[in-house]
Amino acid sequence: MGNDPACPVCGSATTLVGTKPGRRIHRVFTIRKCGGCGFAFVEDPCADLPLIYDEEYYSGRGSDPSVDYAFEFEHPGRSVRRYEWQGIVRAVRSMAPWPCKWLDFGSGNGAFVRHLREAGNDRAFGHDAGAWSGRARKAGIPILDREELAGHEGTFDVVTAIEVLEHIPDPVATLVLLRRMLKPGGLLFLTTGNAATAPRDFLGWSYVVPEIHVSYFTPESMARAMRASGFDAFFPGRTPGWNQILRFKVLKNLGFKRTSPLERAIPWPLVGPLVDWRYRVSAHPAGRAV
């Protein structure tokens, strides 16, 4: 009992949730949960990142078959991902200046950075260490490596981290890094699953894919993590743009990768709020750099 790890967010005691096998990695992972803030995490995450985030992953044949970075990169106008890009821009513009110096942290294939620049923000940059970052740079998308990123500390007006923190074993350390990137008063906008809406059988939650998703936040635990990292956490709720963000999430989970007349016929202004009422994705806080 005395060797049980404390919560990485608030330091409270944690309890064993159970174990779950990986989808591609043939081992069993241990998942724990904090009794204080509700944060859950994989106690023994896989450290072999090139094995997890390989070409199969980026092509939609990996641990998360709902993503297809190759198609999104090559056909941005036909990908349902463009709804998410448009929604994020609209949400952020309701809380920050435009255009502005913007960092998309965990930028994957860089397609969102390209979208930002094509939308008129020529001071948008990305950062990622994955396999696709080199391809993005060759395509002329400004993806900063870790050394280059350090040279931009304290200069960004906005940092986005879209479906990133659930992949990181030490999210507080990453939030500290993101705070260093921002000017005082700069905005952190992120998305991730809401563990407060997980089913009673936590291990049965479809979001629990333990070789890639290792951190599971409630809005309370996210706010605590932000405050511990130098942010003023606030709750903007369903800002403009969330219908488009949710539209993408629904379509992705239904297996849609391409836009189509069928999905365009869905009444998204009605569906979006219903989906958010159930899963409360917009309930997570945003952060202002203190």
For the chain, 290 residues long, give each residue's pLDDT as a single digit of tens: 558 899 999 999 999 999 999 988 889 999 999 999 999 999 999 988 888 888 888 888 888 888 888 899 999 999 999 999 999 999 999 999 999 999 999 999 999 999 999 999 999 999 998 778 899 999 999 999 999 999 999 999 999 999 999 999 999 999 999 999 999 999 999 999 999 999 999 999 999 999 999 999 999 999 999 999 999 999 999 999 999 999 999 999 999 999 999 999 999 999 999 999 999 999 999 999 99
pLDDT at 2: 59
Distance CA 172, CA 9 (A): 7
- Distance, CA of 198 to CA of 206 (rounded, Å): 9
DSSP 8-state code for residue 195: G
Residue ranges of domains in the chain, CATH in brackets: 48-191+229-289 (3.40.50.150)
Q: Which pTM value belongs to this model?
A: 0.96
Distance between CA atoms of residues 41 and 33, nearest Å: 6
- Count of beta carbons in the 10 Å neighbourhood of residue 97: 11
Cα angle: 263, vertex 242, 235; to 5 degrees: 160
Nearest to 45 by CA among 152, 170, 147, 150: 170
Please give the full DSSP string across 254-285, using - where no structure is assigned.
TT--B--HHHHTS-HHHHHHHHHHHH-GGGSP
Three-state SS letters, 131-173? CCHHHHHHCCCCEECHHHHHCCCCCEEEEEEECCHHHCCCHHH
Q: If 0-12 CB within 10 Å is exposed, 13-18 middle and 19+ buried, where does residue 277 land?
A: exposed
The packing angle between helices 242-253 and 81-93, to 10°, is: 160
User: Residue 139 corresponds to which tokens in the numbers above?
Assistant: 């395509």
Which residues have C-beta within 8 Å of that of residue 89, sequence separation ≥ 6? 115, 116, 119, 241
> How do strand 182-191 and strand 156-162 relate by DSSP bridges?
parallel
